[in-house]
Copies of this chain bind each other. A is one copy, B any other.
Amino acid sequence: MDGAFASEELELALRHVSMPLEALRYDVTPVGLHYTLCHFDIPALDESAFRLRVVDRTLSMAQLQGLEKRTVRATLECAGNGRAKFQPRYPSMPWTQGGVSTADWTGVPLKRVLGAVSPRTAEVVFTGADRGFDSGVEHAFARSLPLEEAMRDDVLLAWEMNGQPLAPQHGAPLRLVVPGWFGMASVKWLSRIELLDRPFDGYQQATGYQYKKRAGEDGTPVRQMKVKSLIAPPGIADWYSGRRLVDAGPVTVTGRAWSAAPIKRVEFAVDGEWRDADLEEADRYAWRRWRCEWKAEPGEHELACRATDVEGTQPNQPDWNIGGMGNNALHRLRVTVR
């Protein structure tokens, strides 16, 4: 990583939870280790008084919880994960690798709550109870989905995470979960659902979360997660530098790979020599564990991993864009073997 970080970037890093990479060991990330990104203050919502507004109706939590319930295991990744590795770097949350985690989300499929919609409906808009400013614009966090995405069976209005009631920072009492999409689509503290016959032009849809090469150009919207993988760092670490020390001998190196599309292959490299890793099965939208045996020999080594899905393989270098979105360059990790 290059460049010193501004105090505003530090405060954002402190406000949000980045998953430590040893937590790649868990199929389902424990709640307090799951990454968080809260655009504004975490709202204080009273579940018993809470009402979800859906077009012209309102629903209490008890009414929602009386509907068909299902659980979906889904990996979510922040669209800005890896932002700190871009040069130049956009002034925002400076994620390195930890803006990704996996949870079991339980709730009612959105389509059961929406029911029949007008044939003129193009998008469904989701508004949270969190409110603040971004670039001088005051707004409540809000995002839209195209109708066909909103109607997928696995898009949930969720009130449980890992079998427990949602924690405040994860959107209690109710949030949207959109498996396969970057995390910004999974609106937390969900308070209102509306139907639109035109594209939604809210700040977080039309201005934020765009891939742009130049200021002022029309961006490409950030949507589904890209193919990506990470290494669970072997050995032990130094407190300040984070440098890793590994004992010589056989080491089982593991990690995770994920994408909006099915993962086809994961490769692992020591000092640039690539070979296939073994891949475990997982639910459709959950990360897959990979593993590779490595005979560690004393000295300095660079480990790396890269995943492939139907769209292609992770690039060697990040595809730069102004906002620092969607960095899916392969993961490299320097270790010392003793």
Contacts and interface: CB of A to CB of B under 8 A. Distances in A.
Contacts of A245: 133
Interface in A168-192: 168-170
Given A40-B236, A236-B41, A17 B5 contact: no
Number of copies: 2
B18 A7 contact: no
Nearest to A1: B7
A328 to B, nearest CB: 18
Given A4-B5, A22-B41, A133-B245, A10 B94 contact: yes
Contacts of A134: 238-240
Contact of A15 (B7, B10, B20, B25): B20
Nearest to A14: B18
Contact of A237 (B92, B95, B132, B240): B132
Interface stretch (A31-39, A214-222, A302-310): A31-39
Contacts of A96: 10-11, 14
A41 B241 contact: no
B30 A167 contact: yes
A289 to B, nearest CB: 14
A252 B255 CA distance: 48
B239 A33 contact: no
Contact of A41 (B18, B20, B36, B168): B20
Report, as a range, how many residues of chain A touch the other chain: 35 or more
Contacts of A5: 4-7, 9-10
Interface in A219-240: 233, 236-240
Contact of A10 (B10, B20, B25, B138): B10
Contacts of A91: 240
A40 B239 contact: yes
A257 B138 CA distance: 32
A334 to B, nearest CB: 14
